[in-house]
């Protein structure tokens, strides 16, 4: 499977590791980094650790202070331009604003990661015009706030129906199928039980034929399952990333790139999506 984007294509025959770079003061895990130079250095460090896509964000997706369009552009566009000038790794931008899309793609972005469920009526059209790929996500109707007793008859069915709606809207706006990725949105508008069920039944999501992005990194599904604070959620995050890769996810979005890349590679060697790097044991002449 090939994913087309504004800067070319990427091969999805193996699971790609997407590294997270938050240029925000209130990122839920790392606190973000507002300085441009520090953000660029961090992004390039993730590439050195094995990131195959970078996801750059300037507005916290969860609860937090509101950031206006001007503030988002001021934080995001210089970062996109600087990283694009220093690396050929495809850049994704996490934004819910169609007005940000064109500026981001002109500055070097290749993919738009929209966690809002196409809440901005102009976003899909802006993506289509820009030539970028689009990630659409099930969020349960809750983005900025914490979920309050969400109820689903079947969370997987609800996600699949949401994807059908969002992908149909994206296609109607002129975005080719080869430029669309779907995300079930772990934690977003969901309890830990919902997120665990989505991981347990990831094969049903992969069977839709859409490239599936899984973003488990440091989330409450890990913290509540293992009863651990944010800073101690690495191992649980790696377990979910490895499981996602084994079950056929196209992309895993993570904070801890080096460890995640190794976990993904190991899992895919077991599932035969990828060959072992140096299989010489017992094969000497």
The answer to whether residue 253 is catalytic is: yes
Active-site residue identified among 33, 75, 201, 253 = 253
**Catalytic status, residue 219:** yes
What b/e string do you get for 82-97 counting C-beta neighbours within 10 Å, with b at 16 or more?
Answer: bbbeebebbbbbbbbb
Of the residues 97, 219, 233, 265, which is catalytic? 219
Question: What sections of the chain are H helices per DSSP?
Answer: 36-49, 69-86, 98-106, 123-130, 155-172, 192-200, 202-206, 220-226, 234-246, 257-271
Determine how many CB atoms are found less than 10 A away from the CB of residue 81: 19
Find the farthest-apart pair of alpha carbons in the chain and give their distance in angstroms, rounded: 66
DSSP characters over 42-63: HHHHHHHHT-SEEEEESS-SSS
Residues with catalytic annotation? 219, 253
């Amino acid at each position: 499977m090939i994913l087309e984007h504004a800067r070319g294509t990427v091969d999805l025959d193996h699971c790609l590791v997407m590294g997270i770079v938050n240029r925000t003061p209130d990122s839920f895990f790392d606190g973000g980094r507002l300085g441009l130079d520090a953000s660029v250095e961090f992004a390039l460090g993730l590439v050195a650790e094995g990131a195959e896509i970078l996801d750059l964000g300037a507005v916290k997706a969860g609860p937090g202070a509101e950031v206006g369009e001007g503030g988002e552009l001021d934080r995001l566009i210089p970062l996109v331009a600087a990283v694009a000038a220093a690396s050929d790794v495809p850049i994704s931008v996490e934004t819910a604003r169609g007005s940000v899309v064109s500026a981001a793609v002109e500055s070097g972005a290749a993919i738009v990661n929209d966690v809002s469920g196409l809440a901005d009526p102009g976003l899909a059209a802006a993506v289509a015009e820009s030539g970028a790929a689009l990630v659409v996500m099930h969020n349960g109707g809750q983005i900025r706030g914490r979920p309050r007793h969400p109820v689903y008859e079947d969370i997987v069915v609800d996600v699949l129906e949401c994807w059908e709606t969002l992908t149909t809207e994206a296609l109607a706006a002129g975005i080719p199928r080869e430029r669309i990725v779907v995300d079930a949105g772990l934690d977003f508008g969901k309890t830990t039980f919902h997120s665990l069920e989505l991981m347990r039944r990831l094969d049903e999501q992969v069977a839709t034929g859409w490239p599936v992005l899984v973003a488990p990194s440091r989330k409450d599904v890990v913290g509540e399952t293992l009863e651990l604070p944010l800073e101690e959620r690495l191992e649980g995050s790696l377990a979910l990333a490895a499981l996602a890769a084994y079950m056929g996810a196209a992309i895993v979005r993570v904070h801890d790139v080096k460890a995640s890349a190794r976990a993904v590679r190991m899992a895919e060697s077991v599932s035969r999506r990828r060959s072992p790097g140096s299989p010489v044991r017992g094969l000497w002449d």
